[in-house]
Chain A
């Protein structure tokens, strides 16, 4: 009796559909936890990188030097990525046109693209977490309903409706729901937390883009006046 009611035994003796459901939920749970860990590390690193870049940016260093510090082929992230995209576009346009408005438009467009890439990078796989969080309870419920259907079918075939004939079926059916909840609950919690963190980071990037835009604007304005004079 003890053996037949233990969880591994129940899982092994369950019907195929319920076993598939449980397998799916297990995989979903493992993947969601992988996403949770990976996103947590990414967010923490992005925070640290943003802080250090802002320090350097506002330390009074020449923007050309800052731009040259990083080799062009190296991929950058976050605010630095936005800065490099904007500055590169600014330098290129400065050589071709004299209209400050055209330059600023081009810089802004290029920075928006960079920001959009950053947003995409930060929100990567968070949708998967959301999917697991919302779908796995239903999947588990499906497994439970299927298992209870099976138990009632076996009950109709048995002559004696004892608790012992029904109990294993119901137990293994309920295990499916338990696993669905086990996968869904951490997914929900960490989806909320990670998405909030990513939107905060994206807000910071946006702020930085605006500030950088105003610096470039100031710079262009000075040059135009100097050229006119």
Chain B
């Protein structure tokens, strides 16, 4: 007997239906926020138009860059601190990509210049050294020539003396021969007179003459030997002098070579030092640039946040000319609260100016300032916002 209950109740269906709806709601809450992230950013970005900067930061950066450019024209020794200052300028400025590129190129150029200058310096020094050596070489040659000339003169003088001496000896010999002839004549006369008796005497005399002649010959030989010795001595002296001169020249050459080498070494070391200085400067600069970049990204975020907040709080009054532009100087406290907002460049339309100041007041405080790096924070405590009917830009 299948006795069935009379009707189907509504309790279970109600439970099921409500459960189904709750489930659908939960699914929509859980899954939809994840999908919402994409459209919301595009909604906001649609109003982000201008990225131009009018903060005094940029002006300061501009000035620093100009100074850096001037300094680039200076000598390579200053390249290092110049690079550092350029890095500082890079740290300070607002839209860096292109400018930093330019700076890097300029620095490269500076480094290149420095290297070229160093090379030129080295080349110049090498050339100077070369010239110096050449000059010294010439001097030495001159000296040598002079010395040679002097030696020649001396030699000539000696030869002259020798010749005179020989002539004198010749004259002496002639005189002696004459005397001899006289004496022979006298002897002949004597012999004439005392022919027989004097044969002995003649012999003696002959013997004496012979002895005399021998002595004279000996003297002559002696004199010749002495002259030869003298000549020998002189030659030796000359040789000695020559040797000494050569030694001196050798020493001179060595000294010059040494000097040259030292000079080259010094030049090389100077060039190396310049290179190393540049390298160090470049390293320091890239580090500074990296730091600056970090700070700057945060700063850009901050600027974008401020701009967006002001944009959303801005109510443009009606009938504003489309080219009206007002610049509002904003000063912030350390934690991002608004100290003062004043019109620094009026648009000429007081309602428009008021609306701009009201927008800044409504958007304050900018608590995101505290998230910036401490060094950058100080720079962004005061900035300008430019209001145009199209957009807000900082």
Interface residues of A (CB under 8 A from B): 1-2, 5-8, 26, 29-31, 33-38, 41-42, 45, 49, 52, 69, 74-75, 77, 158-160, 162-164, 167, 182
Given A30-B18, A34-B13, A162-B46, 17 new contacts (CB under 8 A): A2-B37, A2-B40, A26-B21, A33-B16, A33-B17, A34-B10, A34-B14, A35-B13, A36-B17, A37-B17, A74-B3, A158-B315, A159-B318, A160-B47, A162-B43, A163-B46, A164-B46
Q: Which residue of B lies closest to A182 (CB)?
A: B24
- Report chain B residues within 8 Å CB of A26: 21
Q: Is the pair A37, B312 in contact by a Cβ cutoff of 8 Å?
A: no
Q: Is the pair B13, A38 in contact by a Cβ cutoff of 8 Å?
A: yes
Known interface pairs A2-B36, A33-B16, A164-B43; A8-B29 also in contact (CB < 8 Å) = yes
**Distance A6 CA – B312 CA, assembled complex (angstroms):** 20
Nearest Cβ distance between residue B347 and chain A, in whole angstroms? 15
Known interface pairs A2-B37, A160-B316, A162-B46; A7-B32 also in contact (CB < 8 Å) = yes
Interchain Cβ contacts under 8 Å between A and B, 10 examples: A1-B43, A2-B40, A6-B32, A7-B32, A33-B13, A34-B14, A159-B316, A160-B47, A164-B44, A164-B46
Nearest 7 interchain pairs by C-beta: A37-B13, A33-B17, A1-B40, A38-B13, A159-B316, A34-B17, A5-B36
- Verify if B374 is at the interface (C-beta below 8 Å from A): no
Q: Is the pair A45, B4 in contact by a Cβ cutoff of 8 Å?
A: yes
Interface residues of B in 1-39 (CB under 8 A from A): 1-4, 6-8, 10, 12-14, 16-18, 20-21, 24, 28-29, 32-33, 36-37, 39
Nearest Cβ distance between residue B218 and chain A, in whole angstroms? 137
Nearest Cβ distance between residue A38 and chain B, in whole angstroms? 4
Known interface pairs A26-B21, A37-B17; A7-B10 also in contact (CB < 8 Å) = no
Q: Which residue of A lies closest to B42 (CB)?
A: A163
**Distance A77 CA – B8 CA, assembled complex (angstroms):** 12
**Distance A6 CA – B43 CA, assembled complex (angstroms):** 15
**Distance A45 CA – B36 CA, assembled complex (angstroms):** 46
- Report chain A residues within 8 Å CB of B2: 49, 52
**Distance A114 CA – B301 CA, assembled complex (angstroms):** 79
Q: Which residue of B lies closest to A44 (CB)?
A: B8
Q: Is the pair A49, B4 in contact by a Cβ cutoff of 8 Å?
A: yes
Q: Which residue of A lies closest to B4 (CB)?
A: A49
**Distance A42 CA – B14 CA, assembled complex (angstroms):** 14
Give which listed residue, A37, A159, A162, contacts B16 with CB less than 8 A: A37
Nearest Cβ distance between residue A208 and chain B, in whole angstroms? 17
- Verify if B314 is at the interface (C-beta below 8 Å from A): yes
Interface residues of B (CB under 8 A from A): 1-4, 6-8, 10, 12-14, 16-18, 20-21, 24, 28-29, 32-33, 36-37, 39-44, 46-47, 311-312, 314-318
Q: Is the pair B6, A75 in contact by a Cβ cutoff of 8 Å?
A: yes
- Report chain B residues within 8 Å CB of A31: 17
Nearest Cβ distance between residue A122 and chain B, in whole angstroms? 12
**Distance A8 CA – B312 CA, assembled complex (angstroms):** 24
**Distance A163 CA – B29 CA, assembled complex (angstroms):** 23
**Distance A26 CA – B29 CA, assembled complex (angstroms):** 16
**Distance A158 CA – B317 CA, assembled complex (angstroms):** 10
**Distance A36 CA – B18 CA, assembled complex (angstroms):** 12
Q: Which residue of B lies closest to A26 (CB)?
A: B21
Known interface pairs A33-B20, A49-B2; A5-B14 also in contact (CB < 8 Å) = no
- Report chain A residues within 8 Å CB of B24: 182
Q: Is the pair A41, B36 in contact by a Cβ cutoff of 8 Å?
A: no
Nearest Cβ distance between residue B254 and chain A, in whole angstroms? 85
- Report chain A residues within 8 Å CB of B41: 1
Q: Is the pair B17, A30 in contact by a Cβ cutoff of 8 Å?
A: yes
**Distance A1 CA – B10 CA, assembled complex (angstroms):** 42
Known interface pairs A33-B21, A167-B43; A7-B37 also in contact (CB < 8 Å) = no
Q: Is the pair B4, A41 in contact by a Cβ cutoff of 8 Å?
A: no
Known interface pairs A49-B4, A162-B46, A163-B46; A37-B40 also in contact (CB < 8 Å) = no
- Report chain A residues within 8 Å CB of B33: 2, 5-6
- Report chain A residues within 8 Å CB of B8: 38, 41-42, 45
Q: Is the pair B13, A41 in contact by a Cβ cutoff of 8 Å?
A: yes
Nearest Cβ distance between residue A217 and chain B, in whole angstroms? 28
Q: Which residue of B lies closest to A8 (CB)?
A: B29
For B13, B18, B44, B46, which residue has the most chain A Cβ atoms within 10 angstroms? B13
- Report chain B residues within 8 Å CB of A159: 314-318
Nearest Cβ distance between residue A183 and chain B, in whole angstroms? 10
Q: Is the pair B1, A69 in contact by a Cβ cutoff of 8 Å?
A: yes
**Distance A134 CA – B6 CA, assembled complex (angstroms):** 32
